[in-house]
Structure 1
């Protein structure tokens, strides 16, 4: 398991892509793309807007409060554990398998926020990852070689957990 040290957490507060105030504002820019979603609200809103994510990663919470709109998707479901501020091998392996066998819902026990980083490294160039920026809107990550390099840089800030 990898942990994000406290001193690097501020780097993850900045949007890792283009920020839109509402999902509806972003939809025209992602039309025709394969979309991956991270977060309960973004996943719910994308489905409500008629989209179908290739992979949806949720944890049943939004801003640390239970989110009662867990999607009833007819997707293959995978359950994994991933504590806050960490990336488990279990989560990373589940994401790899999900990307290879869409559509898949990855249900995280713990926290899913950091899943954007490993997801950016494994999804194909040209696809899009959507995730929520609390209190600000939705972030659209257009997957390019540059985004993958940025994800590698962020992943390098993690350290092996000493559990």
Structure 2
């Protein structure tokens, strides 16, 4: 069983509907605005970046989009892409962040861009954009899907890190353990 560190309370769901950056519907256009290293959260986002010719430094996928299985083309494109140096698996139930996911993410970001990593999430990766923004270096880009709208391109800066920290602190769970897990990776 995975160790859940933080869980999203229902009271915070509406706060996460606002994108943490501009929206794009085209991977090539997004890449012109993004800075490196680039971290992608979600199968469709990762697919669009790969088909636009870019391997994310870190990609998190769960073979789901909007709670349904992704198209075979998306799953196959990611699975057959030879641009990732390593692939790891991390369990993560919906609406939560586990120690395993946080450790995998923190390690992958610390190794980027020298090593590119695909993190295959067993469960759901939707909340991973939050710790990705928090642990990514300033000027990195975290891209995630905004259901029904497109891809959010969040360039990491200190203001965005403070905004994400406030969201994470409002979640249910153990922030001390969160920081401990993220720091020891």
When normalised by structure 2's length, the TM-score is: 0.82
1:24 to partner: Cα distance: 3.5
Report what 1:87 is aligned to.
97
Report what 1:39 is aligned to.
42
SS in 2 for 1:156: helix
Q: Give distance in 2, aligned partners of 1:8 and 1:129.
A: 21
| 8 Å CA contact retained: 1:121, 1:148 | yes
Q: Describe the superposition over 1:109-132 as per-residue Cα deviations: whole angstroms up to 9, x where unpaired.
A: 111010000011111111101111
Q: Describe the superposition over 1:83-103 as per-residue Cα deviations: whole angstroms up to 9, x where unpaired.
A: 111111111111011112230
2:144 is the alignment partner of 1:131 = yes
Q: Give distance in 2, aligned partners of 1:34 and 1:120.
A: 12
| 8 Å CA contact retained: 1:23, 1:137 | no
- RMSD, aligned CA: 1.4
Runs of 5+ unmatched residues, structure 1? none
Q: Give distance in 2, aligned partners of 1:135 and 1:22.
A: 14
Q: Give distance in 2, aligned partners of 1:77 and 1:137.
A: 26
Report what 1:152 is aligned to.
165
More helix by share: 2
Q: Give distance in 2, aligned partners of 1:33 and 1:88.
A: 26
Q: Give distance in 2, aligned partners of 1:53 and 1:20.
A: 16
| 8 Å CA contact retained: 2:22, 2:152 | yes
1:28 to partner: Cα distance: 1.7
| 8 Å CA contact retained: 2:26, 2:48 | no
Q: Give distance in 2, aligned partners of 1:52 and 1:22.
A: 15
1:49 to partner: Cα distance: 0.2
1:14 to partner: Cα distance: 1.1
1:64 to partner: Cα distance: 1.2
When normalised by structure 1's length, the TM-score is: 0.92
SS in 1 for 2:170: coil
